[in-house]
Structure 1
Amino acid sequence: MKKYLILYSPFLIFLGTFFGSYILLTFLYQSFLDGFDGNKVDSITHIVAQNTEKVLSWYDNSATIEESSKNPFFTLYLNQQAIARVVEGCNGISVIILFISFVVAFSGSIKNTLLFIFGGSLLIYILNVLRIVLLTVLIYHFPKQLHLLHGVLFPLIIYGVVFILWVIWVNKFSKYAK
């Protein structure tokens, strides 16, 4: 048994670091969310909705958001038509937590790790806002394609970008890079 622990120790360390980071960050984020009233939108989702409204207004100046008074979400309007809701799950933090956990598990130098985490998280945030904007516009024009757009295409794009960032990290900056 000791032989296998030694043989597979790099993999076991990776798993422990990944899941430890993921659990810790998820716990911290959940603690943050617990600080908000169940009927109010958290501040991160609020910022995402505001940024989405701003970018969407570049496409159509009739774009607005409205916070629900009874539930924790924003409604996105385009031409006075309710198109989409921005809920906590839309803010991209869960994707950023997954991204950070992987980078930490394959860490490199402290400087490279922190810079890559910051840059990658910022890129994911920006892409997430653009995702919501494009999703809103496409749902406005193609409402029957909601499931394909929201459930398939856009998750594929955002997770595809995260995967590409991971490949870049492992091959260029992590301690495992050649």
Structure 2
Amino acid sequence: METLKQYKPFFIFLLKFFAVYAGLTLIYQTYLNSFNAAAFEVDDFTKLVADQTKWFTDALGYHTEVKPHLLQPSIMFILDGTYVARVVEGCNALSVIILFAAFVVAFKGEWKKTLCFILGGTVLIHILNIVRIGLLSIALLHYPKYEHILHGVIFPAIIYGVVFLLWVVWVNKFSQHGRKKE
């Protein structure tokens, strides 16, 4: 019983994290289930991410086209006439945002600060994700043989690295845990 008391804050953190993560994931999955993947229908948020990435790469001087893929639920991303990538549901960063939000909620803070930090972090992650997809597509256009390291290592490390830094800022500057040290 003494061990349970000693680790109570940890267990509360885990309970809150998994409850928020499960709840948001359930909502997200319900949203995804409203689209017909068997008919290659892509969810609206993924389409939005592809369109915003098109705007970004166009602004960098590339001629960009986004088209629905005819054989799978994804968006074809075409730069300067070359099909370089497909944008799928996993590219929209909503799963990363859910993970980010669950951690922030689990590390207790004032509700207004928590909400503002989650909203600000969500916007930052979303913008970073658009830049990530755009730069990855440009890199794949020029260096297609490095696809594995670009897509599988470098660009995920960037987005997860930023999420980790946001968590560190939250814990040290805004959560009740961080303020106790001051």
- Shorter-chain-normalised TM-score: which range? over 0.9
Q: Which residue of 2 aligns with 1:97?
A: 98
- Matched-pair contact (CA < 8 Å) for 1:60–1:78: no
Q: Which residue of 1 aligns with 2:143?
A: 142
For 1:88, the aligned partner's letter is: E
**TM-score relative to the length of structure 1:** 0.97
Indicate yes or no: 2:21 matched with 1:22.
Answer: yes
Q: CA deviation at 1:71?
A: 2.1
Question: What is the distance in 1 between the residues matched to 2:150 and 2:14?
Answer: 33
The residue correspondences of 1:1-178 to structure 2 (distance < 5 A) are 2-38=1-37, 39-177=40-178, 178=181
Q: Deviations along 1:68-114, whole A, 9 cap, x unmatched?
A: 23421111111111000000000000100000000000021011000
Question: What is the distance in 2 between the residues matched to 1:12 and 1:62?
Answer: 52
Question: What is the distance in 2 between the residues matched to 1:44 and 1:138?
Answer: 24
Q: CA deviation at 1:61?
A: 4.1
For 2:169, the aligned partner's letter is: I
Question: What is the distance in 1 between the residues matched to 2:7 and 2:78?
Answer: 53
Q: CA deviation at 1:64?
A: 1.1
Q: List, as ranges, runs of 4+ consecutive aligned residues in structure 1 with deviation greater than 3 Å.
A: none
Question: What is the distance in 2 between the residues matched to 1:70 and 1:132?
Answer: 21
> For this pair of structures, how many residues does the alignment match?
177
Q: CA deviation at 1:118?
A: 0.0
Q: CA deviation at 1:37?
A: 1.0
Aligned residues: percent identity? 49
Question: What is the distance in 2 between the residues matched to 1:128 and 1:79?
Answer: 21
For structure 1, the residue ranges without an aligned partner over 5 or more in a row are none
Q: CA deviation at 1:127?
A: 0.2
Question: What is the distance in 2 between the residues matched to 1:95 and 1:166?
Answer: 12
**TM-score relative to the length of structure 2:** 0.95
Question: What is the distance in 1 between the residues matched to 2:30 and 2:169?
Answer: 31
For 1:170, the aligned partner's letter is: V
Question: What is the distance in 2 between the residues matched to 1:86 and 1:166?
Answer: 27
SS in 1 for 2:42: coil
Alignment root-mean-square deviation, CA: 0.8
For 1:58, the aligned partner's letter is: A
